[in-house]
Amino acid sequence: MSVYVVGHKNPDTDSVASAIAYASLKKAMGVDAVPVMQGALNPESQLVLDRYGFAAPEIMTDVAGKKVMLVDFSDIAQGPANMADVVEVVDHHKIGDVTTNSPIFFYAKPVGCTCTVINEIFKTNGIAIAKNVAGIMTAAILSDTVNFKSPTCTPEDKVAVKELAAIAGIADTNALFMDMLKAKSAIDGVPVKDLLYRDYKDFDMKGNKVGIGQLELATLDQAANVRADLMKAMEGLKAEGRHSVLFMLTDVVKEGTDLLVISKDPGLIESAFGAKLSNGSMWCNGMMSRKKQTVPPLQKAFGC
Ligand SMILES: [Mn+2]
């Protein structure tokens, strides 16, 4: 019976690369593991899979009656429907609310990327990583750590990239990152709804639903023409019953975020980040990571 390896909803490069890499590890260990994903590839992930010669994993949004291994998440809300038989978890986020009926392999570390954790598990088991698998793992770590600039990045992530890039034969990881950034930040002609959902997550903050999206850009100018439409689409999301909808326009080169805010209580959001809203947004210098720099101050402001 196949076991399905799945990353979180709205798949990013790490959740897809982790699923493929972990399935390849489990296959080498004799498990019939199949990588799947819960939605279409984003442009960055598409570039990465194309470059290293992988077809897109099958999309699976319901796992009724199936055994699943979770990579890059452990929250029920981030998983496919009917996730009742979780047999392994490998992650780098805070521990979520998934439960199991029996003891399982559950391995999470506070590093910048799930692929960094998977690299370690490969080594622990003495299993060689295929060249093309090492390629997508390298790309995933560069993506999740924003080329080592994110505060979530650890020395372990840097060492993992060194090891994996050597296996994959990648001479210039900066060039790979810039190619990914260009693919990711190309927004010309992309419908606003797609931009909004490209990297979007809902959070529960003391009973309040708070949506946070992020778009990483080479420069903020890239989003100037869609800013007003983004705000309108965020209004629509808020009207669906959310307390607040935040959208991070992150300038990867300047290392900061123009934070767009639609909220029932704008003052609360201002107090969370110690900045004033002007024209619906505020510049947060140094803000790069939703997980580490946007969610925790918000949780604190909401009294979580
Ligand atoms: Mn990740």
pLDDT > 90: percent of the chain: 92
**Cα 75 to averaged position of ligand 1 atoms, centre (Å):** 13
First-last CA distance in the chain: 41
**Cα 274 to averaged position of ligand 1 atoms, centre (Å):** 27
**Cα 100 to averaged position of ligand 1 atoms, centre (Å):** 22
Residue 84 carries which side chain, given as an amino acid letter? A
- Structural domains of the chain sorted by starting position, each given as residue range(s) with its CATH number in brackets: 3-182 (3.90.1640.10), 192-301 (3.10.310.20)
**Cα 163 to averaged position of ligand 1 atoms, centre (Å):** 19
Its sign, for the CA torsion 26, 56, 90, 178, is positive
**Cα 15 to averaged position of ligand 1 atoms, centre (Å):** 6
d(CA 232, CA 213): 14
Average confidence (pLDDT) over 8-26: 98
Q: Is the pLDDT of residue 252 over 90?
A: no
* CA neighbor of 259 nearest in space, from 296, 303, 227: 227
Residue 266 carries which side chain, given as an amino acid letter? P
Q: What is the pTM of this model?
A: 0.76
CB atoms within 10 A of CB 234: 24
* CA neighbor of 24 nearest in space, from 131, 130, 170: 130
**Cα 238 to averaged position of ligand 1 atoms, centre (Å):** 26
- Which chain residues have CB less than 5 Å from ligand 1, an ion? 14, 72, 114, 144
**Cα 116 to averaged position of ligand 1 atoms, centre (Å):** 9
Could you read off the pLDDT of 183-213 as tens digits, one per residue?
Answer: 888 888 889 999 999 899 999 999 999 999 9
Could you read off the pLDDT of 47-60 as tens digits, one per residue?
Answer: 999 999 999 999 99
**Cα 265 to averaged position of ligand 1 atoms, centre (Å):** 30
Q: Is the pLDDT of residue 143 over 90?
A: yes
**Confidence label for 156 from pLDDT (cuts 50, 70 and 90):** very high
- Are the C-beta atoms of residues 203 and 93 closer than 8 Å to each other? no
**Cα 79 to averaged position of ligand 1 atoms, centre (Å):** 14
**Cα 299 to averaged position of ligand 1 atoms, centre (Å):** 20
Could you read off the pLDDT of 27-75 as tens digits, one per residue?
Answer: 999 999 999 999 999 999 999 999 999 999 999 999 999 999 999 999 9
**Cα 118 to averaged position of ligand 1 atoms, centre (Å):** 11
**Cα 72 to averaged position of ligand 1 atoms, centre (Å):** 5
d(CA 103, CA 41): 32
- Are the C-beta atoms of residues 213 and 247 closer than 8 Å to each other? yes
Average confidence (pLDDT) over 263-278: 97
